[in-house]
Amino acid sequence: MIDYNEVFTEILNKDAWTQFATPQYWDGKKDKPVTHNHRISLCTTCMNRLDDLKMTLPKNIEDNSDYPEVEFVVLDYNSSDGLAKWIEAYMKNYIDQGILQFYRTTEPKVYSMAHSRNVAFKLAKGHIVNNVDADNFTHKGFATYLNLLAHQVPEKAVFAKGKRMLRGRLGFYKKEFVEILGGYDENSLLQFYGHDDHDLLHRAFGLNFQMVWWGGQYYSATPNHKKHQMDNFQNKDWRYTEKCNKILSFFNLFYGLYKANRGGQWGKATVVRNFLEKINI
């Protein structure tokens, strides 16, 4: 008889994952010259996170003003806290300059990290797409440093804070994110909190991507930061939903399903861009 508790314990042991997706890391050398500026999209998805965004978005735009090919993508995931009104009142000048692209969808009832990030990344115009949570500060020069790293690893790169803590800041070459990885998993994982980033990372490792780290100098969070922001999720028991997603993710790797959303449509939404243009993706 199968002891399922023993099976689950084994699955949740981090060492068990490496048999299907061996971690691969950049060698840390920065010896390749920067020959051009990649278009970089820093993407933030939020549902009712206005208080955080008021602190982080203007500061992040200022701190990356040294890099000429950066855009900020904000996806308002049906917020009810006045986010759109604040953007229109206080951030419209950045929209007019082409620095900020603001999208709003009124379809979601609850927050989905996988779906919201898929939508934002698909809407982004950058060659590189990188998530920045609403309560994250990038600090000065993040986009410039990301461009330097991209020149060191020009393909199959996962740009991340580091080997230990991802902090929700994963970045990819957009074409590879869409065509090779198939985005975040909307179809087989639970659409609740937990393990979305690590599932994507393990699938990337299984497809021979390298982690390219930018380090803690480009990360800090707002003073009111909470690791588990559960207010907008349908199921608020994050320990349970995270554990379920770990198990589902493990079995996908076991069966070699490294590309997500196979045979299904993903990242679909109806959005309004910059208060004027309706878009279906």
Query: What is the distance between the alpha carbons of residues 25 and 27, in angstroms, rounded to a whole number?
Result: 6
| Domain topology for 4-280 | Spore Coat Polysaccharide Biosynthesis Protein SpsA; Chain A (3.90.550)
Tell me how far apart the alpha carbons of residues 78 and 65 are, in angstroms, rounded to a whole number: 29
Q: Which of 79-83, 162-166, 229-233 has the lowest mean pLDDT?
A: 229-233
pLDDT band, residue 1 (cuts 50/70/90): very low
Amino acid 31: pLDDT:
97
With a cut of 50, say whether residue 227 has pLDDT above it. yes
φ/ψ of residue 178, rounded to 5: -80, -50
pLDDT tens digits along 125-156 = 999 999 999 999 999 999 999 999 999 999 99
The pLDDT tens digits of the residues spanning 70-102 come to 999 999 999 999 999 999 999 999 999 999 999
How many Å apart are CA 176 and CA 156, to the nearest integer? 7
Per-residue pLDDT, 250? 87
Res 49: pLDDT: 94
Of residues 215 and 20, more confidence is placed in 215
Mean pLDDT of 189-201: 80
Q: What is the pLDDT of residue 83?
A: 97
pLDDT tens for 19-34 read: 788 999 999 999 999 9
**Predicted pLDDT at 245:** 85
Residue 26, CA atoms < 13 Å, CB-side half-sphere: 24
pLDDT mean across residues, the chain: 90
**Which of 160-174, 184-198, 266-280 shows the highest mean pLDDT?**
266-280
Q: Which residue has the higher pLDDT, 270 or 164?
A: 270
Structure-token pair, residue 6: 């023993």
Q: For residue 176, what pLDDT is reported?
A: 98
pLDDT digits (tens, 9 = 90+) for 178-192: 999 999 999 876 666
- Calculate what percentage of the chain has a pLDDT beyond 70: 87
- pTM beyond 0.85: yes
Closest CA to 95 of 112, 71, 76: 71
Q: What is the pLDDT of residue 88?
A: 98
DSSP 76: E
Secondary structure element (H or E) that encloses residue 130, with its range: strand 128-131
